[in-house]
């Protein structure tokens, strides 16, 4: 079957209420018809995700913002103009008539127009380009997001998906930037999840810098402390501390996998990533999955630089490492 035929088949399956995984420029998505509450419910079941976590609705470039969102501020139209199609999700007030299943019961909706050509073709084929595809990342809840079709097949080996469209490696590699514009008057723009499109990029378009979310309102599942995590514990470590720690782990008979970007050290398994934040993001999730597959006791990750360009990467790494603070003590002293 040609790629065009597969995309057509994927659109029909979605229209029938089935689940289809598809590539986007950020990560692979697990898609369902956003206006079919039963289909949306099956996303939650397949992912093992709590029902109160809203999902992002993906639109074709010609999609109608006004159909999905209400009281759309000028800032949202300006950001759509500047960054769509592309890796930006906007949280807006949900239009009346849009099922609340996609919003986990909240009165808002997350909207994004992806730029991956397969995603765009699928969105154009689905419901004549006028529908919305609800799609979280195509991984089990809390696990690492998929950046290859094979990652999706590995996550969902149980026949949960009607089809997996293969669009090659996701170009950005980490999930879209999420900016909340639903409470502009009282809260201003809020950056719920950092990503490829930065706070600077957003400020340059709307003249307002999105603020970090207040800890009292963890509304995005990407903002849960533990997320994007492999099964093997992840520990972040400064470069200077790596050689001694690797030597102590080896002496204790422990297997350490290493993800670095500045030079190889002897380890049970190692992978080197780019020293450029975009190149690093592109390969990060595949590296975490690969190092999760070498039966190591721990994955050591060389701490990246802390400047703004690395915000999205550091956010994902911090969450992947959450809860592993005591792992080295245990491995070295028991
Ligand atoms: O790059 C991406 O955004 C990928 C691709 C597939 O588009 N999708 C993705 O979806 O990362 P997911 O479900 O893994 O993460 C979506 C995030 C969640 O943290 C969710 O809570 C938040 O978006 N979100 C969606 N709708 C929301 C809403 N109405 N209010 C607040 N947060 C929302
Ligand atoms: Mg996700």
Domain residues for the domain of 127 are: 3-223
Q: How far, in Å, from the CA of 191 to the mean position of ligand 2?
A: 16
- Of all protein residues, whose CA lies closest to atom 12 belonging to ligand 1? 136
CB 261 within 8 A of CB 314: no
- The ligand minimizing its distance to the Cα of 144 is 2
Are residue 120 and residue 180 in the same domain, yes or no? yes
CATH number for the domain spanning 143: value is: 3.90.870.10
Are residue 211 and residue 257 in the same domain, yes or no? no
Q: How far, in Å, from the CA of 133 to the mean position of ligand 2?
A: 15
The span from the CA of 106 to the CA of 93, in Å, is 9
* Residue 228 within a domain: no
Residue pLDDT tens, the chain, 334 long: 899 999 999 999 999 999 999 999 999 999 999 999 999 999 999 999 888 889 999 999 999 999 999 999 999 999 999 999 999 999 999 999 998 888 888 899 999 999 999 999 999 999 999 999 999 999 999 999 999 999 999 999 999 999 999 999 999 999 999 999 999 999 999 999 999 999 999 999 999 999 987 654 555 555 556 678 899 999 999 999 999 999 999 999 999 999 999 987 888 999 999 999 999 999 999 999 999 999 999 999 999 999 999 999 999 999 999 999 899 999 998 7
Strands 133-134 and 56-58: antiparallel
Are residue 17 and residue 92 in the same domain, yes or no? yes
Structure confidence at residue 235 (pLDDT) = 97
Structure confidence at residue 104 (pLDDT) = 84
> Per this entry, what is the length of the chain?
334
Structure confidence at residue 219 (pLDDT) = 54
Q: How far, in Å, from the CA of 12 to the mean position of ligand 1?
A: 24
Are residue 44 and residue 91 in the same domain, yes or no? yes
Helices (H), 33-187: 37-47, 65-68, 74-83, 117-125, 149-155, 184-187
Residue 255 CB contacts under 8 Å (≥ 6 apart), including other chains:
249, 268, 269, 294, 295, 296, 297, 298
Structure confidence at residue 85 (pLDDT) = 98
Are residue 72 and residue 152 in the same domain, yes or no? yes
Are residue 326 and residue 272 in the same domain, yes or no? yes
CB 280 within 8 A of CB 267: no
Question: Which atom of ligand 1 is least distant from the CA of 26?
Answer: 1
Structure confidence at residue 119 (pLDDT) = 98
Are residue 76 and residue 209 in the same domain, yes or no? yes
- Of all protein residues, whose CA lies closest to atom 22 belonging to ligand 1? 220
Are residue 252 and residue 135 in the same domain, yes or no? no
Select from 161, 196, 223 the last residue of a domain: 223
Which value does ipTM take for this structure?
A: 0.98
- The ligand minimizing its distance to the Cα of 21 is 1
Q: What is the pTM of this model?
A: 0.95
Question: Which atom of ligand 1 is least distant from the CA of 49?
Answer: 13
Q: How far, in Å, from the CA of 227 to the mean position of ligand 2?
A: 8
Are residue 253 and residue 201 in the same domain, yes or no? no
Give the residues surrounding ligand 1 with Cβ less than 6 Å away: 24, 26-27, 29, 53-56, 89, 91, 103, 106, 108-110, 112, 114, 135-137, 175-176, 178, 192, 219-222
Are residue 100 and residue 196 in the same domain, yes or no? yes
CATH number for the domain spanning 287: value is: 3.40.50.11030
Select from 198, 223, 248 the last residue of a domain: 223
- If one counts the domains in the chain, the total is 2
Are residue 200 and residue 124 in the same domain, yes or no? yes
DSSP, res 42:
H
Substitution candidate for ligand 1 out of 178, 194, 195 with most atoms within 8 A of CB: 178
């Amino acid at each position: 079957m040609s790629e065009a035929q597969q995309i057509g088949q994927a659109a029909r399956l979605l229209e029938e209420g089935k689940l289809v995984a598809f590539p986007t420029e950020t990560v692979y998505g697990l898609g369902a018809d956003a206006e079919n509450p039963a289909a949306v419910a099956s996303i939650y079941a397949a992912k093992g995700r709590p029902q109160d976590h809203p999902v992002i609705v993906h639109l074709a470039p010609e999609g109608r913002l006004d159909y999905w969102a209400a009281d759309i501020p000028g800032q949202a139209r300006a950001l759509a103009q500047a960054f769509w199609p592309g890796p930006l999700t906007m949280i807006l007030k949900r239009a009346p008539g849009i099922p609340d299943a996609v919003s986990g019961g909240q009165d808002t909706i997350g909207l994004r127009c992806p730029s991956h050509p397969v995603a765009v073709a699928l969105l154009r084929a689905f419901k004549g380009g006028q529908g919305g595809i609800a799609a979280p990342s195509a991984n089990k809840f809390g696990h690492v997001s998929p950046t290859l079709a094979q990652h999706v097949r590995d996550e969902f080996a149980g026949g949960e998906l009607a089809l997996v469209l293969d669009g090659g490696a996701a170009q950005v590699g980490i999930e879209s930037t999420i900016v909340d514009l639903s409470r502009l008057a009282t809260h201003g723009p809020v950056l719920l999840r950092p990503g490829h499109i930065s706070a600077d990029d957003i400020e340059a378009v709307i003249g307002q810098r999105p603020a970090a979310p207040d800890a009292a309102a963890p509304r995005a599942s990407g903002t849960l402390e533990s997320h994007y995590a492999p099964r093997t514990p992840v520990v972040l470590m400064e470069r200077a501390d790596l050689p001694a720690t690797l030597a102590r782990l080896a002496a204790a008979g422990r297997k350490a996998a290493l993800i670095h970007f500045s030079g190889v050290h002897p380890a049970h398994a190692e992978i080197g990533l780019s020293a450029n934040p975009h190149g690093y993001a592109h390969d990060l999730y595949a590296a975490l999955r690969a190092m999760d597959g070498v039966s190591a006791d721990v994955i050591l990750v060389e701490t990246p630089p802390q400047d703004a360009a690395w915000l999205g990467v550091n956010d994902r790494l911090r969450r992947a490492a959450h809860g592993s603070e005591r792992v080295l003590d245990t491995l070295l002293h028991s």
